[in-house]
Structures are given as structure tokens and as C-alpha cells.
């Protein structure tokens, strides 16, 4: 199981602090699996992360329940669960892609040049496909988080609805990281979770 926690430093600073980073203390937290005992520190594992200004290994703290022997890891909020690329990179690539009017190959070349991170057509299609499958979940989550009285989009076309949602995330006071953190905390899912 994974949880996401808010970090007030960049991925590079997070990596440089290593084990001295002030990680959340879960020693007083009841195990989310068996709900019988408190969690205990269980070391770290390394995870590869790619972001606009960072590429490398970061440490992720783990906790264990000695009753059920299940573990819980705490991801910094710039990470996307089960993805190498950062949440900000994923959001930015999707936002730019849905607002692009040209050919996909020209988009990939432009995006790679602008952000300095290679992006494959296959990865972009995978992100797009998962985002469109999660369209309703994302729209409902935005209504909940932003306390909107009206729907995010009145269109029946999922591509238009997702484009409206991504633009809303970009223009509101909350960042994609906050939306993702709240979405994961509320329902254990993110933009790309099926």
C-alpha cells in the first residue's frame, strides 16, 4: 500500500537530504490493513524519478505492521504511484497534448525540446487512454475538491471534458500536485489509475 505526503522541497533537494529528510512519523498510526497494531519504521527503498529539473534515485520510507506483516510506503507528492515520470510531468504532457492542434509527431518533438525530457508516442497514448477512461472520476473529484456548483464541462465528448478539466486544474489556485494528492487520499486513485 502507498500513501502520498506533501513535500515543500524540489525532488533534487529531497534526494540530497536522503535519510535526514523529515519524513512523516507513522509510529502512532494504526495499520490500515488489519487495524490492530501501530505501524513501525521498516527502512527505505529506492525509486527512480524523472522530472523537468531532476532525474535520479530517491528514497521512499516504508512502515510495517508486525501483526499482519504488511507494509506501507510514503511517496512524496511529486511522484506518481507506479510511474517513473513525476506527477507534474504527466500533467504538463497531457495538458499540452490536449491543447495541441498539430500532428502528434510535431507535438512530441516540441515537448521534448521545451522540457528536455524525451516522450514517446506510446507513452503519450497510454496516458491519454487512461485519462479518458478516468474522465468521470476526475470530473467528480474536481467538483468535490473545488466545491463547484456547476459541472466542469457540459460537453458530451470525453476529449473536450478532459481538456476542460485539465485547463481548470491549471487555472485554479490549486496545483496539479494538490489535486493529485487529494484525489489519492480520498479514493486511492490518480489521473491514470484505472
* DSSP string for 173-194: SS-HHHHHHHHHHHHS--TT--
133-149 pLDDT, tens digit each: 888 888 888 888 888 87
For residue 173, pLDDT beyond 60:
no
pTM more than 0.95 = no
Q: C-alpha cell of 152?
A: 466542469
Confidence of residue 184 (pLDDT cuts 50, 70, 90): confident
| Confidence (pLDDT) at 183 | 81
Amino acid at each position: 500500500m502507498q500513501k502520498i505526503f506533501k513535500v515543500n522541497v524540489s525532488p533534487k533537494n529531497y534526494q540530497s537530504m536522503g535519510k535526514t529528510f523529515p519524513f512523516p512519523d507513522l509510529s502512532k498510526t494504526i495499520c490500515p490493513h488489519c487495524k490492530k497494531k501501530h505501524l513501525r519504521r521498516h527502512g527505505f527503498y529506492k525509486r527512480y524519478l524523472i522530472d523537468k529539473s531532476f532525474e535520479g534515485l530517491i528514497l521512499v520510507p516504508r512502515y510495517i505492521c508486525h501483526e499482519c506483516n504488511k507494509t506501507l510506503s510514503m511517496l512524496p507528492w511529486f511522484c506518481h504511484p507506479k510511474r517513473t515520470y513525476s506527477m507534474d510531468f504527466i500533467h504538463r504532457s497531457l495538458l499540452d497534448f490536449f491543447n495541441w492542434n498539430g500532428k502528434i509527431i510535431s507535438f512530441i518533438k516540441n515537448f521534448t525540446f521545451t522540457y528536455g525530457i524525451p516522450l514517446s508516442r506510446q507513452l503519450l497514448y497510454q496516458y491519454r487512454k487512461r485519462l479518458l477512461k478516468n474522465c468521470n472520476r476526475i470530473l467528480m473529484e474536481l467538483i468535490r475538491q473545488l466545491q463547484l456548483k456547476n459541472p466542469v464541462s457540459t460537453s458530451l465528448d470525453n476529449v473536450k471534458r478532459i481538456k476542460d478539466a485539465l485547463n481548470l486544474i491549471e487555472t485554479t489556485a490549486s496545483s496539479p500536485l494538490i489535486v493529485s494528492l487529494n484525489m489519492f487520499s480520498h479514493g486511492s486513485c490518480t489521473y491514470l489509475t484505472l
